[in-house]
Structure 1
Amino acid sequence: MLLSVDDVRDFLKKLGFDEGSVNELIEQIEYFEKEAPQRDDIVRDYLREECIETIVEEIVEEILKMNKESIRLLDVAAGSGFFTERIKRKLEERGVKADVYALDITPSMLRRLDEKGITPIWGVAEKIRESIEIANEHCGINAPREFDVVLSTLAFHHFLNPEEVLKSMKSVLTENGKVIIIDVLKHEHEEFKETLKDIHLGFSLEEIKEMGSKIFKKVEARYMDVYCEVGDIIIGLYKAVFA
């Protein structure tokens, strides 16, 4: 899937984003375009191997609770597929057939996903359903309109409008499906907005629960015993599940 910045800009306008939001998203894309070749190594630098394994296991265990032999899974803002690939493999090791798709806004990340055998979808987290329609029409794929599991790992703090993202995730969720989010807890490191292009400085459990309860009937959120390391700064993580 080869998309130029001009293609992306056109698609963003089709999705209804105003000029200011388009420019902000393009700035994020340009940042992650530079990261794409080293993205897997960057994730490893942020997280110790045991933290990576814990995150994957937490997501897989949450999916196994659904007692399904096969699932359709969408990873939103999947990046290079670092976690997507591991989750798919672990599910299949546990006897669950996983039909996995990954949505991302950065063209180079989509190429990395394709190289890993994961079906890439160009799109924006705030408008997943519309993004799938555009990707199916313009990019020659046939992605489903609904998924049993929608997940996002270490990306929620990058979204322009997190509450709209949760609504967007629900719009492509099957009746008994669930949304799983693992992301950074609220912190005070304002410099990350510039150095890492973070939009938000994480979220507290209370903020996540309040946001989710407006949209979902069932909301769970808890601290995880894992963390990210950015230089000498340590940031905790949380897991939230919505159904």
Structure 2
Amino acid sequence: MGIKESAIKQFGKQAQAYSKGNIFVDGFHLSKIVEITGVKENQRVLDVATGSGFLALEFAKKTKNVAGCDITRNMLLHAREKQKNSGLDNIDFLLCDVESLPFPDGAFDIVSCRFAFHHFPDPKKALLEMTRVARTIVLVDGVSSEDPVKSKFHNEIEKMRDPSHVRINSLSEIKNMFEETGAMIKDISHWEIPQDFDEWIKRAGTNEETIIKIRHLMTGSVANDSTGLHVKIEDGKLGFTYDTIILIAEATSFSS
């Protein structure tokens, strides 16, 4: 099974869980992202790999023209249901692949991607498409340790938990990708998101045997932070922290 097929299977199966996950529904985080972009009422926004549409819906409160796209039909069904309940009628949700967006050059003012970049099999190709269709790029995702050994271990655990995982990159790797794809980074904000192990593992629908293995690996990483995730045990609960970035860039092809 290819990476994209794996993602469609994973997010199709776990669409309900992902649509309720605390990392996705955090209203303060969502409003902060939209605020940082400085979006105006008449600007056009595209949210790629929109999932259940959380960020697209947040943008739709501030601007009149929003689109959200995803390769997983079940996720889009949740997005459309949330749109219906929100009363917002200025969003279009469509099924498509970020690596081949069905829009002309410069069709949008802002393109955003939240908590999905690490699932892209070819993130550079995705970035090229994003920079093609919009002037401003907004990337929100976790970043891995700059220590390559810690980053490798971290990503191995992520892959065990969710087979559709590709790679959580370090910040320096992300910066290099943006430079190579012709986008100038304007701002980077860091946001530490605490994660409860049980909620995190449940969201992915991981089988019990693998959960035991991952719990053992995470617990064993506490002493020397070998995952770079600052894993800790408090009151008998296992938890860790995602270092998350909100990155704003400008496509140089649109620069004057």
Pairwise same-fold verdict (TM > 0.5): yes
Check 1:146–1:39 CA distance in 2 against 1; reply closer, same or farther (3 A cut).
same
Is 1:225 matched up with 2:199?
no
Query: Are the equivalent residues in 1 in contact too, given 2:119–2:167 (CA < 8 A)?
Result: no
Q: Is 1:181 paired with 2:133?
A: no
Distance in 1 (CA, whole Å) between partners of 2:169 and 2:240 is 17
Cα distance in 2 for partners of 1:69, 1:27 equals 37
Residue type at the aligned position of 2:157: E
Q: Could you tell me which amino acid in structure 1 is paired with residue 124 of structure 2?
A: E
Higher alpha-carbon Rg? 2
Alignment of 1:71-82 (within 5 A): 71-82=43-54
4+ residue runs of structure 1 moved beyond 4 angstroms?
none
Greater relative CO (CA pairs within 8 A, separation 6+): 2
Q: Secondary structure at the match of 1:70?
A: coil
1:233 Cα deviation (Å)? 3.0
Aligned residue for 1:87? Answer: 59
Q: What root-mean-square deviation, in Å, do the aligned CA atoms of Structure 1 and Structure 2 show?
A: 2.4
Provide the residue aligned with 1:15 in structure 2: none
Write the mapping of 1:186-225 to structure 2, written as runs, cut at 5 A. 186=144, 187=151, 188-189=153-154, 190-220=156-186, 222-225=188-191
Cα offset, 1:53, TM superposition: 3.6
Partner of 2:210: none
Among 92, 102, 110, the alignment partner of 1:119 is 92
Aligned pair in 2 of structure 1 residues 185, 78: CA closer, same or farther (>3 Å)?
same
Q: CA deviation at 1:54?
A: 4.0
SS, match of residue 165 in structure 1:
helix
Q: Is the 8 A contact 2:188 2:248 kept in 1?
A: no
Give the TM-score of the pair, scaled to structure 2: 0.68
Seen in structure 2, the aligned counterparts of structure 1 residues 196 and 228 have a Cα distance that, compared at 3 Å, is farther
Contact 1:54-1:226 within 8 A present in 2 as well:
no
Percent identical among aligned pairs is: 26
Equivalent residue, structure 2, for 1:38: 17
Matches within 5 A, 1:101-116: 101-116=67-82
TM-score by length of 1: 0.71
Distance 1:168 1:73 in 2: 14
Query: Quick check: 206-215 or 158-167, which moved more?
Result: 206-215
Q: In the aligned structure 1, how far is the partner of 2:183 from the partner of 2:127?
A: 13
Q: Which amino acid aligns with 2:5?
A: I
Q: Deviations over 1:121-154 (max 9, x none)?
A: 111111123xx59xxxxxxxxxx97111100001
